Amino acid sequence: MNKIEILKQIALEAGKIVKEGYHASKEITHKGVVDLVTEHDIKTENFILEKLKKYFPDHTLVGEESHPQSDNDSYHYDKAIYIDPIDGTTNFIHGIPYLAISLGVWEKGEPVMAVVYNPILEEMFWAVKGEGSYCNETKLSVSSQEELQQSLIATGFPYAKVNQGIEYRWVIKCMTNILPHIQDIRRLGAAAVDLCYLAQGKTEAFYEIDLKPWDVAGGILVLLEAGGKVSNVHNEKFDFDDKSIVASNGRVHEQLLGYLELI
């Protein structure tokens, strides 16, 4: 089996754990005031880590629930796989089927392979650098919309909003700036899937502050391979150390940036 098929297989099997948990009662632990984790996130991540260790022994494995975190963390490795066992945990807990397992393989600072799998809706997004991106067997292509006013924009709100600090103020300021100039906003609750729906042409753009590599490492390649664009809010090449991510179909990117506050 080649590497992408192995990744898909791991995601499919991990998806069984997530799906079982989705329909079961959940023991919830608070990582922060509104940042939650369940035993299913941890069980799924442990399963994925065991499999990846076997098939990708040269890669550093960076999983949301196991990676030691500190404020001055740098997430750059020569070869790494960034793992979000359940992106969209709040949806998972509330029984809203917008969530995914995200696996993003990066080498020398570039995404090379990705799988974003929603086991509830049975949507397997996947991509290999230079070979396009797919949802199940269907090739993906971004929307051809060129007008921001006719664009549906996805975003998300950081857990740090509860502190009403700089992140909260950025979210509110951007929303105030942008809302009159777009078709509408969606806050769907899973950044990895937001990037894949953008790749699929369902939305025209996505922006968010304070995301971690495991939220976006998979979705970025799915989007780029579908013809999309990713940058930071300064319109520079996106880096995991950036505070913000801005992603689009490429056609409305600069119009959107014009309404986002610099941070």
Binding site for ligand IPD (CB under 6 A): 84, 87-90, 156-158, 189-191, 208, 211, 215
Q: Min. distance of Cβ 80 from Ca ion in angstroms? A: 16
Q: Min. distance of Cβ 145 from ligand IPD in angstroms? A: 23
Closest-approach residue to ligand IPD (CB): 156
Q: Min. distance of Cβ 223 from ligand IPD in angstroms? A: 15
Partner touching 10 among Ca ion, ligand IPD, none, CB below 5 to 8 Å by kind? none
φ, ψ for residue 142 (rounded to 5)? -70, 165
Distances (CA, A) of 199 to 90, 139, 210, 229, 263: 23, 10, 21, 10, 25
**Number of chain residues interacting with Ca ion (CB under 5 A):** 6
Partner touching 204 among ligand IPD, Ca ion, none, CB below 5 to 8 Å by kind? none
* Residue 194 sits in the site that holds Ca ion (CB under 5 A): no
> What is the DSSP secondary structure assignment for residue 236, as one 8-state letter?
S
Distance CA 201, CA 191 (A): 15
Distance CA 71, CA 20 (A): 34
> Which range in 162-170, 210-218, 224-232, 248-256 contacts Ca ion by CB under 5 A?
210-218
Sequence-ordered alpha helix ranges (H) in the chain: 3-22, 39-55, 89-94, 166-178, 191-199, 213-225, 253-257
Q: Min. distance of Cβ 258 from Ca ion in angstroms? A: 28
Contact indicator for 156, 189 with CB cutoff of 8 Å = yes
* Residue 84 sits in the site that holds Ca ion (CB under 5 A): yes
Q: Min. distance of Cβ 183 from ligand IPD in angstroms? A: 20
Partner touching 225 among Ca ion, ligand IPD, none, CB below 5 to 8 Å by kind? none
* Residue 45 sits in the site that holds Ca ion (CB under 5 A): no
Contacts for 210 with CB less than 8 Å, ≥ 6 apart: 158, 159, 160, 167, 243
Partner touching 111 among Ca ion, ligand IPD, none, CB below 5 to 8 Å by kind? none
Contact indicator for 228, 123 with CB cutoff of 8 Å = no
Q: Is 199 helix (H, G, I), strand (E, B) or coil?
A: helix
Q: Which residues bind Ca ion (CB under 5 A)?
A: 64, 84, 86-87, 89, 215
